């Protein structure tokens, strides 16, 4: 049984598609770029924004940083709350906490946004640590936020830790530290095969599947 549960946020605990994709559109339009198809904008959910604006829009570093600034103008005011927990997640977190587990957020989203979202949906109380990116973009890779949480917890046996997320970034971040991982299929991965190919230890296609794995 895993004692230390590291959760991604977007696509794992909450469905954040509306707020993120609308904020991407806001940034692009205000920079004079054409908007992207919704399916492309969904790919912004999970990885660092800098990487996504460069990859999907062909921006250089300076332009991508300005896109992030514009994105955050809308996201901070409106977008972060265009969001909702997946059905079954609040009850699962409560039951895990009541069972004595240590719950951690390990997200590439800035910590301040993660905290605001968790508080908005009454989930903050379940988490012992919130490890997210910094607004300057110096700490945003999945490995960075996992490492920060591991250092804070001073865990003796890494076999007691599992990283739970919906994209290959979560699985590869876990593998970097030789941690087990659970890939969730209800999030934003285009296909379960992304999680399998990344080497997820377990696959949970639904929140109920996730519950069964964590209480096994």
Q: Tell me: the pLDDT tens digits for 151-186?
A: 999 898 999 999 999 999 999 999 999 999 999 999
How many residues make up the chain in this entry?
216
From 27, 57, 81, the end of a domain falls on 81
- Residues 48 and 129 both lie in one domain: no
* Same domain for 97 and 182: yes
What percent of the chain has a predicted confidence (pLDDT) above 90? Answer: 92
- Mean pLDDT check: name the lowest of 50-54, 107-111, 137-141, 153-157: 137-141
Average pLDDT on 41-67 reads 94
Residues 83 and 108: beta-carbon distance below 8 Å: no
Shared-domain flag, residues 96 and 202: yes
In angstroms, rounded to a whole number, what is the distance separating the alpha carbons of residues 23 and 79? 6
d(CA 202, CA 209): 10
Indicate if 37 and 118 belong to the same structural domain.
no
* 28 and 109 share one domain: no
Domain termination site, one of 65, 81, 97: 81
Q: Which residue range is the domain that position 54 belongs to?
A: 17-81
Residues marked active site are found at 8
CATH of the domain at 154: 3.40.50.1000
Are 88 and 58 in the same domain? Answer: no
pLDDT at res. 138: 66
> Among 83, 26, 77, 82, which residue's Cα sits nearest to residue 49?
26
Structure-block tokens of residue 155: 């865990």
**Mean pLDDT score, 2-29:** 97
**Residue 88: exposure state from Cβ atoms within 10 A (0-12, 13-18, ≥19):** middle
Q: Is pLDDT of 190 > 90?
A: no
Give the number of domains in the chain.
2
């Amino acid at each position: 049984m895993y004692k230390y549960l590291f959760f991604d946020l977007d696509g794992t605990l909450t469905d954040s598609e509306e707020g993120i994709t609308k904020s991407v559109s806001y940034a692009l339009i205000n920079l004079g770029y054409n908007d992207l198809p919704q399916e492309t904008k969904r790919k912004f959910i999970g990885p660092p924004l800098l990487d996504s604006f460069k990859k999907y829009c062909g921006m250089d570093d300076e332009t991508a940083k300005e896109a992030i600034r514009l994105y955050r103008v809308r996201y901070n005011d409106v977008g972060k709350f265009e969001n909702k927990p997946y059905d079954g997640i609040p009850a699962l977190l409560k039951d895990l906490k009541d069972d004595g587990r240590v719950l951690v957020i390990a997200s590439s989203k800035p910590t301040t946004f993660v905290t605001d979202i968790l508080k908005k949906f009454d989930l903050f109380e379940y988490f012992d640590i919130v490890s997210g990116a910094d607004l300057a973009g110096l700490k945003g890779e999945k490995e960075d936020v996992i490492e920060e949480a591991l250092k804070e917890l001073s865990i003796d046996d890494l076999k007691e830790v599992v990283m739970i997320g919906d994209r290959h970034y979560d699985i590869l971040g876990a593998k970097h530290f030789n941690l087990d991982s659970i890939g969730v299929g209800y999030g934003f991965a285009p296909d379960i095969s992304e999680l399998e190919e990344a080497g997820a230890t377990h696959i949970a296609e639904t929140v109920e599947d996730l519950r069964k794995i964590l209480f096994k």
